[in-house]
Structures are given as C-alpha cells and as structure tokens.
Structure 1
Amino acid sequence: MSLNIAASPDTRDRLNAYIKLGKLGFYDYYLSAFIVWAALPGSQLWDGTTFAVLLLYIAGYVGVVAATVALDDVTGIRDGSDAHNYSPETGALRDLTRKPLLSGALTVRQAELFGWGAMVWGAILWSMVFVIAPETSLWVGLLMAAVLISNVQYSYGMKISYNFGQELILVTPGLAILVPYVLLTGEATGLVILETVLFGLWSLLVSIYSNMNDVEGDRLAGRRNLATLTSPSAYRKIIVGAHLLELIAVAVAIGVGAVPLWFVALMVPLWVMRVSQARAGVGQGNLLQARMLGIKLHRWGVPALLLANVLALHV
C-alpha cells in the first residue's frame, strides 16, 4: 500500500492564496541584504555572524511586509477601495488574483490571522537579530520597533496611510540597508546613507504612480494622502519632484565627498529609464505602465549599487 502525501488541490490553492496575500513573490525589498553585504568591510564579509544577522533580518522583514500588505488588504476590502481600484478596466496590468480577498480565495478573518501571525514572526526574528548583532544601540532598536509598528499600522488600526503618513511609510524600505549595516558595523558611512535614501526613493517611485491611479477609490474610502489632497496637476508636479530627489541625493553625496564622481556613471542608465517612466506616467497618463517600469528600475538599481560597493570598498 502506498501513502499519497502530496498536498491536495485545495491545500495548494490555499497556500498560493496566502503567498499572494503576503506578496511573498515581491522580493524587491529583500535584495537590500546583498547591498549591505557588499558594503561591509572585507573582514566581515565571510563572518558567520554577518550571515546570521542578514538572514534573520530579511526573514523578519518578510514577516513585517507580509503583515503590512495583508492587513492593508483587510482594510481595502472593508472600505471598498480595493473593489474600486481593481476594476476590470485595469485587469491587464493589475491581476485580480493578486487580491485573494477580492477573488474569494480567503476570508477576512483568515487574512487578519495571517497578518497578525506575520507580525509576530517579524517581531521575534528582529528581536533575535538585536540579540546576536555585534553592534547594538538603543536608537537602532527603537528604529526597528518603529518600522515594525508603523508598517503594521499602515492601513489598519491607526491607519497611518489614511491620515497623512502614507508617503512617509513608503520610503521605509530604505532602512533595510541602514539598520542591518549599523547592527553589523556600529556606524553609517556616507555611501550607505546614500544607498538608504536611493532604495527608499525607488520604492516611493513605484507607489506614487499606484496612488495616482487609485485616487478615486482612495478618496471614496477617506484616505488622505498627497494624491487625494491635491489636484491632478499638482500631484504630477510632486511626482516630478520625487524623480528629481534621486538626482539631488546623488549630487549632495558627491558634493560632501560621501561617494566619488564615478558613481554618476552607474546611475545614468537608470536615469535614462526614469525619463521613460516619467513620460509614461506624467506625460501620457499610463500610470500602471509607469508603476511597472518603477518596479523594474528598483530591481535594476540593485546591481548598480552592488557594483558601486565593490568598486568603492573591495577593488
């Protein structure tokens, strides 16, 4: 007699729904670990503690992000904003199956339990990181706690994203570079600070296009962010300003001697594509196309920063 231990179709479907609920296929933020590793002094590159800190931090961050997006979906289904924003007209670029609460694959109660479980997972692993890290200080611990709490409260509980704080939370992925680096080295170099800023801006340059696309549904739900509180023309100017911040950050870093002038050469290919992103979103109104370009640029920016770290520190 053979024993069939393969998962049933229902189990596989449920697991797939939870994967989509937690956006576990969206790995962009977790690529920060490679940037941090390449920025470390040579003596720490192959140290066991380094790998333990980075692995635990990223594994915990997966929980933080999963909790954030799952509870965001809970709020989105309750206030009707997701049903409005994921209308059939946008199906070509926004797959309805990415929202298992809308598709009926999961219940609100299941999503809530998943979200709170993911938060506990993140809190436990980040606590372990703080215990084993070679360099710890109170401000880093408080910063980690603030990221955890504010992200989970993004659209749930305090609903920070509904009360003027959305854009502030959207740049916190950049801290996935700063925090583990400081935990490992006890300092923050100019290069790491610049990369923290860029990584956060790249995240924002995805989300601001989503916000503009979702503005009608967000207004109906009572969300107060830059998109809902400004006119379309004013928000387009804000988007252009966000694009310019990337250039300004690099210029300031070069001006204060934080990075060498050759850093610009690594950024130029990305900036050329940024023009295409801005043209698609701001100029032509193809907001979801601009969002997809932003995701690609976020991913393409990672090898650029890796190369910058190698050239600056290990060549």
Structure 2
Amino acid sequence: MKRALLISILLMLGAELFAQSFYSNRINRRWMATGGLGYARSLGDLTNPGSYFDTKLNIVGGLQYRFTNRIQAGVNLMAFQLSGDDQDIDPELNTRSRGLSFVSNNLELSATGTISLFPTANRFTQRRLINPYIVAGVGVLLFDPRAEVPEFAYIGGDTIRAPRAGEMVSLRQYQTERPNTYGRFAMVIPVGVGVRVKVTDFIDVTAQISNRITFNDYLDDVSGRFYPDEDLFDLTVPEDVTAAALSDPTGTSRNNVRGNPDSNDYYLIFNVRAEFYIQGEFLNRVFGVGGKQYNIKPRRRGGGLFNFGGRRR
C-alpha cells in the first residue's frame, strides 16, 4: 500500500513537472514536431482523363525549425500509396483500355522550407491566428509499382497461361518495357502552398497541398511509346511468360502506343498536420542552435511563506 502510494505521488509530481516544462512561456520555442494524414494522387500514364478521385491515404511526420520570423525548414518522412489504371476510359477523349494497372507503396524523405506571408511575433505565443505560406524542397522517393498477373500471355499469336496468374508481383523485376529498366529510387521536388492556423499557444494545424515534380517516368511502370519486341520474351522461360502477360495484358495493343516518354510522372499530396511547439533543448545542443530565453521574473507576493497578500512593512 505504501509503495503504491509512493509511486502515485512520484507519477503526479513527474506529470506536474512535465506540464510546467511543456506549458512554460519563458522559452521562445523554434522547434516543432509535426504529424498528420492526407491523400495522394498519381498523375502519370495511367491517370484516367477527367478522374480526380482516385486517391490513396498518406501519413507524414517530421521536425521543423524556425530560423527567422517568416522562414522555417525541416525534414519530413511520408508513407503513402499510389494507384492507377485505364479501365474506366472515356471514348470521347480518344482514350483506350490497354488493360494496364498498378499500385505502389511508397516512402518519401524530404527536406523542405516554408516562407510565411506574415511575420511571426518575436514571442512564439503571440503568432498570428492564420498565416498562409509557400513551400518548396527536395527529396528522395522509394517506389515499387506492383500489379496482378493476367491469366494469359499473348506472344506471336500463341496464348499461354501465365505461371503466376492472379498473384501481385513487382513490375520492375519483370522488365515489362524491355530492354528498358529502372531503379527503385527517384528524386522529387515538392512545391506547394498551405495555411497555418493557431489552435493553442503550443499547437498549430496546417492544411497543405503540393505537387511532386519527379525526374522519373516509371512510377506507374509505363513510359515507352511502343511495346517491346516479342522476340525479347522467351516462351520456354516461365518468368518471361509472366513478363509478357504483364507487358500486354489484352494481347490487342501491340501495334498501338503504350506510354508517353515525353512527360515524367507526378503525384499530388494533400495533408492536414498538427504542429507541436517543443523546447528542443537536446536538438539545440546537437545542431548548435537555440531559442532565446525570455527574461521573465516571477512576481513577489509578500515576504513570507504564509503571507497571503499582505504588504511587507
């Protein structure tokens, strides 16, 4: 019983000390821990014209530092999914179904900087209620488009059952646009706008939309204008039969255009984040920076411990 009472008292004291530290206004906090959710949308060769709702979830977290009253920068790690297909086509737009589709689980690590429209007050608790901003940066994307293997492969007029029909496989390893290949990493440049809203002295909420400029046309595994030559697939090799099925799922598109190599793939990100202003004393030591300490002296309330407001004489 005594031990439980002691533990309870220690926990209450620890919580009180943490609360006093977190909610202290004496430190001009420049560090912000961020986290939020949103959606991602692929903009590539398998984006249906006129479709704006083929979106997937993203989750993001990061760390920001305010350098000046208008400029802050930080790092962000985002996990998200992209997908696309050409099944729901619009004949009036002269599009056609190639039977191609993809889904990809991705990771993006980025460094971004933001410039706010209005300056932040010297004391962080006195910042504006609403403050729009622009954002730009650079990052690296880890991607791996996947698709379900069709039931049959069509090569040289022959119809052959694909060995892995119905399975979800990585498209990259099958080289569906032979002899072209691609890696798993791509450089991206985030560019966008957002708005920051003050919720409490220590918490902001941001809504941000940004486009990812990439230098890669294989985020959806489709790029080349023409289908690969049938001679590049060996019917005696099971992997090549699967590759042929993934490359031309319908068997009727070989004489048509497969992709557009003149335009790289993009993706659109929208998310809502919470930003928590933290003291970051450890981070200050690591990076050699720090917030300015406010020189706020406690108000004296009389001369003794049990003086309840009486004047000292």
TM-score for the superposition, normalised by structure 2 = 0.24
Higher helix share goes to which structure?
1
Larger-Rg structure:
2
Higher strand share goes to which structure?
2
TM-score for the superposition, normalised by structure 1 = 0.24
